[in-house]
Amino acid sequence: MSKVRIGLVGIGSMGTAHAQYLIANEVEGAELTAVCEQSEERLQMFAEEFGSSVACYNSYEAMLDSGLVDGVLIATPHYFHPEQAIKALNKNLHVLIEKPGGVYTKQVREMNEAAAKAGKVFSIMFNQRTNPLYCKLKELISSGELGEVRRMNWIITDWYRSQSYYDSSGWRATWANEGGGVLINQAAHQLDLWQWATGLMPTRIRAFCSFGKHRNIEVENEVTAYAEYENGATGVFVTSVCESPGTNRFEVTGDRGKIVIEDGKMTFSRLRVLESEFNSTFKGGFGQPECWKFEVPVVGKNPQHKGITQNWVDAINKGTPLIASGEEGIKGLMLSNAMLLSTWTDNWVDLPIDEDLFYKKLQENIRNSRSTKNPLESRTLNVSGTH
Amino acid sequence: MSKVRIGLVGIGSMGTAHAQYLIANEVEGAELTAVCEQSEERLQMFAEEFGSSVACYNSYEAMLDSGLVDGVLIATPHYFHPEQAIKALNKNLHVLIEKPGGVYTKQVREMNEAAAKAGKVFSIMFNQRTNPLYCKLKELISSGELGEVRRMNWIITDWYRSQSYYDSSGWRATWANEGGGVLINQAAHQLDLWQWATGLMPTRIRAFCSFGKHRNIEVENEVTAYAEYENGATGVFVTSVCESPGTNRFEVTGDRGKIVIEDGKMTFSRLRVLESEFNSTFKGGFGQPECWKFEVPVVGKNPQHKGITQNWVDAINKGTPLIASGEEGIKGLMLSNAMLLSTWTDNWVDLPIDEDLFYKKLQENIRNSRSTKNPLESRTLNVSGTH
């Protein structure tokens, strides 16, 4: 079996991290054969070090047409993802894109259609789906171990970003270029995990976004969202990038008790009988079901980005099912879009959302933008410790 | 100094608990001289045991006119509180009422007016204000130790109540008699502590109440509320009485870090420099302020109901400042009313609330009630372990 020849698009902060593990041959069945980068400075630096084995392009089209790549890994700013992905799929290349799939759901839908037409493997870098903690949660919910889900509360505020971070890239935190803030960038992972691990999408959402809180940016950087589900369950999702040290605590209650993920550990407070069963038979005053609290053993490490790239390569080489397919990538983005739309309309948003209304409101924000940032200006950040 | 002669009104679940510590002479400077109870059966049982030292009345007015009492401790169902309190104040007696002060804020306002006119001591049984954990939180916030408050999240769902509990009292969980559910009864304590410990009242609230969730009752038993504050802070308050084992976790973030109260412990993640100061000077990519996490020593035990009764007696005897004055009792109830009103109107509610609108909506609920419960039917529950 020949190796999948990967073309890497964008060698900024995230792209450089991808290049490193690919060049170190840490993804089995794959090799980095080409990179493409708009910044002459970055491209030259890369060429000086790796130019002998990796072809360097400043034109995306030239790389796609080079015959040197079977698939592309796209690590450009978000707003390039849909266009670049569709171009590659239309040239019969496999595609793996950094999250988010797009800024609005219609973009992901179009990529999925192009992938289906080309019959190529299209995946999105949801590198938290390979986190054993959330894999375990998914298993405990889907197997019925927790009973019917009733209430959720996820506080995910440990994505601290300083003003300096926002100032480092001209495209960041602007409506025109990043297309959003914490929802589209940092918390995109948790929004994806929220629906993926629980298997639940809300029927409607009421959300409250703060824009440019404690920071000189125009997009949302603190969000509280309330969600309602078909089975009567409710959920709260809170995210912020201006808190330190922040919290990452996900609580899910069900008919069988409560699971809490915090500090990298999973605690299960498990009832011996279902709450609903206890309630229907108990005849006393203040009693409640017997509960056993324990830490759930969670085995393994999260292979992160490399794990998703490996899965994409395996899907190409051996037909391995995708961990994060394009079809699935739309769901977290739907939640994200719904939260902004609810804030913009100061009202409930039913799901699936009105895609045209979201697009219209986003364009209004772009037109009304007062950002003076230059999207082409940026400096490379060390992304170790980020996701 | 002569002892304050207390008349206890109602010897149901809670009243019996008050009688026990008063008869055991555990409140200094006070004695139980009379009780009043509508249920002949209960009154007779009480008289058989304590009738030699405590006068027993089935008429409230007769007890007030007996000349045997200097003050009354009212532990009847909520909807009796305002009328009974005002009657006693108008007869120049001191008053301590069980929480809540009333079902709607206007009632508490009227009691405060009567107390001011009579010049008598009027207090409400907020027996969590004597919990050293929340006293400590109040101190850390009011002293500026936490910095400006930015975000709060209180999940208080460990007030489990079974259907059997609701069925035990005809007046419980009905609009006409209890006047509400978890907000007016169980979480009334936390709503009071929320504003008391933080010193903050929201400017507006958007809340989502579920009525009769998993229980055959008509009032709210699960609530998610979102609050906004004048300084830009936000807060989430979640409460439920149909979850087991439930959670009691209060997180408060400020410019100086984060305080979490959970499992009876207080953890402070304290930044060495204010976040705002770090943010204004940091020039790197992903850095954040140095943080020291430690458990805050919290000394003492909560004297609970007895502590509030002692404070009320001390206020009468020695002019000791009240821990929970009637003037303060209105604030938690304002939050509670706002949450119901927001749900009923499916909209934001500005604070202070429109009291007349709340009253009108409450009356609508009473008129539309389908409850078939008989408010006079009940059985005495053992309240050990409740608040």
**CB spacing of A240 vs B289 below 8 angstroms:** no
pLDDT exceeds cutoff 80 at A376: no
Cβ–Cβ contact B282 with A under 8 A: yes
How many residues are listed for chain A in this entry?
Answer: 387
Query: Inter-chain contact B245–A280, Cβ cutoff 8 Å?
Result: no
Longest CA–CA span in chain B (Å) reads 79
- B291-294's contacts with Cβ under 8 Å and 24+ in sequence apart are B291/A244, B291/A245, B291/B257, B293/A245, B293/B267, B293/B268, B293/B269, B294/B267, B294/B268, B294/B270
Q: What share of chain B is helix, strand, coil (3-state, %, to 5)?
A: 35, 25, 40
Strand partners, B265: B262
The confidence score (pLDDT) of residue A16 equals 95
Inter-chain touch B236–A246, beta carbons under 8 Å: no
| pLDDT above 50 (res A306) | yes
Is residue A305 less than 8 Å (CB to CB) from chain B? Answer: no
* Chain B contact present for A347, CB below 8 A: no
Nearest Cβ partner for A275 among B244, B286, B385: B244
DSSP A83: H
* Nearest CB to A236; choose among B238, B275, B382: B238
As beta bridge partners, residue B262 has B249, B265
**CB of B284 less than 8 A from some CB of A:** yes
Summarised one tens digit per residue, pLDDT across range B16-34 is 999 999 999 999 999 999 9
**Residue B381: pLDDT over 90:** no
In the structure, what pLDDT confidence band is assigned to residue B387 with cuts at 50, 70 and 90? Answer: very low
pLDDT recorded at residue A383: 47
Quick check: B258 and A238 CB within 8 A? no
Give the list of residues 6+ apart from residue B326 with CB closer than 8 angstroms, or none.
B101, B108, B111, B112, B115, B122, B123, B124
Residues of A in contact with B213 (CB under 8 A): 232
Q: Which long-range contacts (CB under 8 A, 24 or more apart) does B83-91 make?
A: B84/B9, B84/B60, B85/B111, B85/B114, B85/B122, B86/B110, B86/B111, B86/B114, B87/B60, B87/B61, B88/B64, B89/B114, B89/B115, B89/B117, B89/B118, B89/B120, B89/B122, B90/B114, B90/B118, B91/B64, B91/B65
Distances (CA, A) of B146 to B138, B139, B142: 10, 10, 9
Q: How far apart are the first and last CA of chain A?
A: 32
Confidence grade of residue A380 (pLDDT, cut at 50, 70, 90): low
* Percentage of chain A modeled with pLDDT above 70: 97
Judge whether B203 is closer than 8 Å to chain A, CB to CB. no
Q: Which helix (H) or strand (E) holds A86?
A: helix A81-90
pLDDT digits (tens, 9 = 90+) for A73-90: 999 988 889 999 999 999
The mean pLDDT of chain A is 94
Partners of A168 on chain B (C-beta within 8 Å) are 285
B114-147 per-position pLDDT tens digit: 999 999 999 999 999 999 999 999 999 999 999 9
Query: What local confidence, expressed as pLDDT, does residue A125 receive?
Result: 94
Contact list in B for residue A153 (CB cut-off 8 A) is 153, 155, 238
Contacts of A155 in chain B (CB under 8 A): 153, 251
CB contact under 8 A, B258 and A245: yes
For B225, the closest chain A residue by CA position comes to A226
Where do the H-state alpha helices sit in A282-354?
304-318, 326-345
Q: Rounded CA gap, A193 and A208, in Å?
A: 20
Which fold would CATH assign to domain A129-295? Answer: Dihydrodipicolinate Reductase; domain 2 (3.30.360)
Query: To 10 degrees, the CA torsion angle through A35, A39, A45, A48?
Result: 50
Q: Please report the ipTM that was assigned to this predicted complex.
A: 0.92
Which residues of chain B neighbour A151 with C-beta distances below 8 Å? 157, 222, 238, 240, 243
pLDDT of residue A126: 94
- From-to residues of CATH 3.40.50.720 in chain B: 4-128+304-326
What's residue B169's pLDDT? 81
pTM higher than the cut 0.90? yes
Q: Does B23 touch chain A (CB under 8 A)?
A: no
A157 contacts on B by Cβ (under 8 Å): 151, 253
Please list every residue in chain A whose beta carbon sits closer than 8 Å to the beta carbon of residue B277: none
Please provide the DSSP assignment of A105-120 as one string.
Answer: HHHHHHHHHHHHHHT-
Q: At what angle do helices A355-367 and A326-345 cross, to 10 degrees?
A: 60
Q: Where in chain B is the domain with CATH 3.30.360.10?
A: 129-295
Four-CA torsion A106, A112, A114, A119, nearest 10 degrees: -170
Q: pLDDT at position B225, please?
A: 98
At A147, is the secondary structure helix, strand, or coil? coil
Interface test with A, best of B234, B286, B380 (most A CBs within 10 A): B286
The pLDDT score that the predictor gives to residue A117 is: 97
Residue A171 binned pLDDT confidence (cut-offs 50, 70, 90): confident
Instruction: Say whether B285 and A163 touch across the interface (CB within 8 A).
Output: no
Q: What's the rounded Cα separation, in Å, for the pair B333 and B230?
A: 20
Structure tokens given for A273: 């009988």
Residue-wise pLDDT for B63-85, tens only, equals 999 999 999 999 998 888 999 99
B192 neighbors B272 (Cβ within 8 angstroms): no
CATH class, domain A4-128+304-326, is alpha beta
Best to test chain B binding among A161, A244, A281 (most B CBs inside 10 Å): A244
Confidence band of B172 (pLDDT split at 50, 70, 90) = confident
Beta carbons of B138 and B259 less than 8 angstroms apart: no
Question: Using one digit for the tens of pLDDT, what is the confidence trace for A179-195?
Answer: 999 999 999 999 999 99
Partner residues linked to B56 by β-bridges: B35
Q: Which helix (H) or strand (E) holds A49?
A: helix A40-50
Stronger pLDDT, B178 or A253, i.e. the higher one: A253
Whether the Cβ atoms of residue B209 and residue B220 lie closer than 8 Å to each other: yes
Give how far Cα A327 sits from Cα of A108, A110, A121, A122, A316, Å. 8, 10, 11, 9, 17
Tell me the two tokens of residue B104.
């709607």
- Contact between B193 and B128 under an 8 Å Cβ cutoff? The reply is yes
For A230, phi then psi, to 5°, come to: -60, -35
Interval B156-165: pLDDT, tens: 999 999 999 9
Are A163 and B279 a contacting pair at CB < 8 A?
yes
Distance between CA atoms of residues B365 and B349, nearest Å? 18
Tell me: the pLDDT tens digits for B253-299? 999 999 999 999 999 999 999 999 999 999 999 999 999 999 999 99
Is pLDDT of A229 > 50? yes
- pLDDT at position A292 is 98
- Amino acid identity of B244? S
What is the CB-side half-sphere exposure of residue A291 using CA atoms within 13 A? Answer: 23
| Residue B35 host element (H or E) | strand B30-36
pLDDT bracket for residue B307 (50, 70, 90): very high
Mark yes or no for CB contact B162/A282 under 8 Å.
Answer: yes
**Chain A contact for B387, CB < 8 A?**
no
A231 and chain B in contact, CB less than 8 A: no
pLDDT digits (tens, 9 = 90+) for A35-68: 999 999 999 999 999 999 999 999 999 999 999 9
A352 min Cα distance to partner chain B (Å): 21
Q: How confident is the model at residue A379 (pLDDT cuts 50, 70, 90)?
A: low
CA dihedral B15, B18, B19, B25 (to 10 degrees): -170
Confidence at residue B1, expressed as pLDDT on a 0 to 100 scale: 63
Residue A345 forms contact with B (CB below 8 Å): no
Higher pLDDT, A385 or B135: B135
The answer to whether B211 and B220 are in contact (CB under 8 A) is yes
pLDDT-derived band of residue B374, with 50, 70 and 90 as boundaries? confident
Tens-place pLDDT, residues B94-119 = 999 998 888 999 899 999 999 999 99
A89: Cα separation from own chain's centroid: 21
B211 lies within 8 A of chain A by CB? no
Tokens of B273: 């420099």
Give the angle B149-B150-B153 at the CA atoms, nearest 5°: 95
Mutation site for B-interface testing, chosen from A205, A221, A222, A279 by largest number of B Cβ within 10 Å:
A279
Extended beta strands in chain A, E state: 4-9, 30-36, 55-57, 71-74, 94-98, 122-125, 149-156, 204-211, 220-228, 234-240, 248-254, 257-262, 265-271, 291-295, 349-350
Q: Kindly report the average pLDDT of chain B as a whole number.
A: 94
Which residues lie below 8 Å from residue A204, measured CB to CB, with a gap of 6+? A227, A228, A348, A349, A350, A351
Contacts of A247 in chain B (CB under 8 A): 251, 253, 258, 260
Measured CA distances, B387 to A15, A283, B221 (Å):
57, 20, 17
Question: A235 and A207 in contact (C-beta within 8 Å)?
Answer: no
CA–CA dist B332, B191 (Å, integer): 5
Question: CB distance from A272 to chain B under 8 Å?
Answer: no
Query: ∠A242-A245-A247 over CA atoms, to 5°?
Result: 90
CA–CA gap between residue B342 and residue B339 (Å, rounded): 5
Q: Answer with the residue of higher pLDDT: A370 or A385.
A: A370
What is the reported pLDDT for A351? 98
**What residues contact B135, with CB distance under 8 A and at least 6 apart?**
B129
Nearest chain B residue to A274 by CA distance is: B244
Angle among Cα A83, A85, A90 to the nearest 5 degrees reads 95
Whether residue B245 and residue A269 make contact (CB cut-off 8 A), yes or no, is: yes
Q: How far is A336 from chain B (nearest CA, A)?
A: 18
Q: pLDDT band at B378, cuts 50/70/90?
A: low
**Which residues 62-101 of A are in CB contact (within 8 Å) with B?**
none
Residue A99 vs residue A296, higher pLDDT: A296
B286–A206 CB contact, under 8 Å: no
pLDDT at B373 (0 to 100): 77
Task: For residue B379, name the pLDDT band (cuts at 50, 70, 90).
Answer: low
Name the pLDDT band for B372 (thresholds 50, 70, 90). Answer: confident
What is the mean predicted confidence (pLDDT) over B193-222?
A: 97
Residues of chain B with C-beta less than 8 angstroms from the C-beta of A234: 208, 210, 222, 224
Round to whole Å and give the CA distance between B339 and B204: 10
Determine whether the interchain pair A253/B243 forms a contact, defined as Cβ–Cβ distance below 8 Å. yes
